[in-house]
Each structure stands twice: as structure tokens, then as C-alpha cells.
């Protein structure tokens, strides 16, 4: 168990989930937190990451940093998505081990599961059939990350836990149209279409100055602004969204995800996931915090013979509830107060048709979500529109 004095490094502490985890830890009295912005520390730089760990010597690490984006970004930057994420994960996890970090929490994504996985998706369906092509590189990187955690635990007796959140949304979300996820992109598009119709160019300027679109800011001419927004399906009182609107998606409020993450960080050990009695009897030197003698390698080769094959030790984090993209758009329209038209461009890809996860393992470990989607969409728009 980590003490209130334990030094915890939150990688990605300015991001959607990282910032929420940081705040959740503070609220629980864990104040010895360490964070670095991307400008201060490039996690793809192996030398820089080693230097950081040498200087800070954290007791625990939350790896919430990642190179992320939606369908368009995943399609355009395939090499970046696999290489950047692999570099981040390899650097942080290897240095965490080299510096004797007691606990590590790795954040992945439910895009790790096969495109046609049985619904709802249990942890055990990992690697049972092909992935969704549009986010294959990101998924492979995240699968590698959870396998790193699993493999370090089995070979070195570390205590690294991987959690796989469903689609997240909340304060500090990414609203940049070029590389944002479905909900913030949808919300911003609908909001800007409403502002165009209302003639609220002062608010449009504020929005574009905070988040330029392809370099176009609020200082540009109305014609330039309308032209660039039209490229993203944003018009006067009309919005065009990608796909058919029929895919089903599950969404989790980011502060709920943070609470689940901190719950796992503080209360769940690798030994809890695979069976503490069996694990402790095989790994000599098991300690009370769930870690094991770092020099003992009974698990070398990917399995502990007495336990059989050990895999799929990650934990799904979500609500276990879903709605269609069209239903989501209706919630956003209501929250924004939009009275125009929302259309779907069926020539564009839908991505995976359904992505509901089974959260029974998470529930068995003592955590369930609190914020329902109807309230969450309202809360997100309140946050976005009052910035």
C-alpha cells in the first residue's frame, strides 16, 4: 500500500485522464506528486526519461501519457501512432523497473479488442481475432504495453497493473478538430454551427484563438473561417458527422476513470488478479504490498508452471452501458441548445460497430461508475463553453 508520503509520478498529468487522476490523488491526500509537461520531458527520448527517473526516484508511476486521436488521425498518422506510443511505454516501463518503482499503473484503451469480439467484451477476448483496421497501430501499441506489464510481473515479480478504459470524455478533453475523439469533436462542431447561425463572431474568434483549425485563428476573415470549418462539416446551423450514426459506443466520464484508476493503484495488486495464494506460494519473497523479490524469476518464459498460462491480467474500466452515435448527437444537441440540422455522411467510415466492455472484473475489485452519460454531456458542455 502506498503511503500519503509516497512520491507518485503522473505521466500525462495535463491530459484528459492524467489531470483527473492528479486531482483525485490530491483529494485523497496524496500530495507528493510529480509531473512534467511534454515541453519539459519528451517521453519518447530514452536518455531524457532515464535522467528524469535518476533525479526524481518515484515510488509509483501512472502512465497516462499517449499519442492519441480519432479515426481521421489514426488513418493519417499510422506510423506515428505505433512508434510514438511504443517509445513512451518502453522508456517509462523500463526505467520504472530499473529504478525499483513499487507500483505502476498503465492506461490503455478498449480498442485493443478484436473488431468482431463477442459483446460485451471480456478481458479474455484479447488477441482472439483481427483488430479494427482504422486504429490497428494504436491498438497494437497498447497491447504491447499491457503485455509489458504482465511480462515484467511474471519474470521479475513487479506489481504493474494495466487498465483498459472505454471511450472517455470530460474536463481538459481534446477539442482540436484535426485529432479529437468523437464526443468533443461532435460537441465543438455543433457549438460552432450554432454560433455561425447566431452571428456570434466574437465567440467564434475566442474559440478559434484557443484552438486554431489548420492554423486558422479568430483573427482570420469570416470567409477563411467558414471555408476551413466547412472542411470539417460545420456550416450555418448545419453539421455533417462521419458515418451512419448507427455504431454503438460506451462512454465514461474522465473523473470516474480517474477514481477507478486511483482505486486500482491504491488497492489492487497483481497478486489479487491472478490469485494471491497461488502467486505467493510460487514467487518466494512476496511482500505485503503485492510486489515480489525482484531477483526471483520463476515466471521466466511467460508462465509459471504451477499456475499454467497467465494472460489477460488487465482490467476493463467502463460503465457497461452503450448508446448509438446518433443518440449521442441528440444529447449534445440538447446540451448545446442547437436548433439546426445534424446529418450523417454515410460515405465515411463508421469504425467498429459495437464496443461494449464487460466490467464484471472491475466490479469484483470494488469499483463502479457514478456519472451517467446524460449528465456527463451537460457537464462537458458547461466546462467547454465557459472556458
Rounded CA-CA distance 228/189 in Å is 12
Cβ neighbourhood burial of 303 (10 Å; 0-12, 13-18, 19+) = middle
Q: Which residues pair with 63 in a beta bridge?
A: 11, 106
Q: Which of 9, 30, 113, 138 is catalytic?
A: 138
Q: Residue 142: which of 88, 62, 190 has the closest Cα?
A: 88
Rounded CA-CA distance 164/123 in Å is 9
Return the SS3 of 172.
coil
Contact 376, 256 (CB under 8 A): no
Instruction: Give catalytic status of residue 138 as yes or no.
Output: yes
Rounded CA-CA distance 15/170 in Å is 10
Rounded CA-CA distance 149/130 in Å is 22
Q: Residue 371: which of 259, 231, 221, 241 has the closest Cα?
A: 259
- At a CB cut-off of 8 Å and minimum separation 6, what does 168 contact? 16, 17, 181, 251, 252, 253, 254, 257
List the Cα angle 293/98/315 in 5-degree steps.
70
Q: Residue 11: which of 99, 107, 140 has the closest Cα?
A: 107
Question: C-alpha cell of 192?
Answer: 460552432
Rounded CA-CA distance 82/139 in Å is 8
Q: Which residues pair with 343 in a beta bridge?
A: 240
Q: Which residues pair with 357 in a beta bridge?
A: 121
Catalytic residues: 138
Amino acid at each position: 500500500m502506498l503511503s500519503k508520503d509516497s512520491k507518485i509520478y503522473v505521466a500525462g498529468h495535463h491530459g484528459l485522464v492524467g489531470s483527473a487522476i492528479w486531482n483525485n490523488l490530491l483529494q485523497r491526500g496524496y500530495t507528493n506528486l510529480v509531473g512534467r509537461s511534454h515541453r519539459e520531458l519528451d517521453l519518447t527520448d530514452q536518455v531524457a526519461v532515464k535522467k528524469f527517473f535518476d533525479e526524481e526516484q518515484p515510488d509509483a508511476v501512472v502512465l497516462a501519457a499517449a499519442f492519441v486521436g480519432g479515426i481521421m488521425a489514426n488513418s493519417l498518422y499510422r506510423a506515428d501512432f505505433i512508434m510514438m506510443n511504443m517509445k513512451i511505454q518502453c522508456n517509462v516501463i523500463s526505467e520504472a523497473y530499473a529504478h525499483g518503482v513499487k507500483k505502476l499503473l498503465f492506461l490503455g484503451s478498449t480498442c485493443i479488442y478484436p473488431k468482431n469480439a463477442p459483446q460485451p467484451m471480456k478481458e479474455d477476448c484479447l488477441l482472439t481475432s483481427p483488430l479494427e483496421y482504422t486504429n490497428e497501430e494504436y491498438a497494437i501499441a497498447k497491447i504491447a504495453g499491457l503485455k509489458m506489464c504482465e511480462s515484467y510481473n511474471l519474470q521479475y515479480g513487479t506489481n504493474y497493473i494495466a487498465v483498459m478504459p472505454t471511450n472517455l470524455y470530460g474536463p481538459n478533453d481534446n477539442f482540436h478538430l484535426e485529432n479529437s475523439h468523437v464526443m468533443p469533436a461532435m460537441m465543438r462542431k455543433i457549438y460552432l454551427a450554432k454560433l455561425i447561425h447566431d452571428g456570434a463572431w466574437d465567440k467564434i474568434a475566442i474559440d478559434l484563438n484557443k484552438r486554431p483549425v489548420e492554423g486558422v485563428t479568430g483573427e482570420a476573415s469570416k470567409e477563411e473561417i467558414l471555408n476551413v470549418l466547412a472542411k470539417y462539416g460545420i456550416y450555418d446551423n448545419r453539421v455533417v458527422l462521419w458515418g451512419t450514426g448507427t455504431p454503438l459506443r460506451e462512454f465514461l466520464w474522465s473523473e470516474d476513470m480517474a477514481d477507478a484508476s486511483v482505486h486500482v493503484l491504491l488497492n489492487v495488486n497483481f497478486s489479487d488478479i491472478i490469485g494471491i495464494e497461488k502467486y505467493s506460494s510460487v514467487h518466494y519473497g512476496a511482500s505485503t504490498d503485492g510486489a515480489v523479490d525482484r531477483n526471483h524469476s520463476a515466471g521466466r518464459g511467460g508462465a509459471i508452471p504451477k499456475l499454467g498460462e497467465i494472460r489477460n491480467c488487465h482490467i476493463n474500466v467502463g460503465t457497461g452501458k452503450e448508446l448509438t452515435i446518433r443518440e449521442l448527437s441528440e444529447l449534445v444537441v440538447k446540451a448545446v441548445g442547437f436548433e439546426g440540422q445534424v446529418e450523417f455522411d454515410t460515405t465515411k467510415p463508421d469504425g467498429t460497430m459495437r464496443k461494449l466492455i464487460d466490467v464484471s472484473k472491475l466490479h469484483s475489485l470494488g469499483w463502479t461508475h457514478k456519472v451517467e452519460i446524460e449528465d456527463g454531456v451537460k457537464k462537458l458542455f458547461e466546462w467547454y463553453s465557459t472556458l
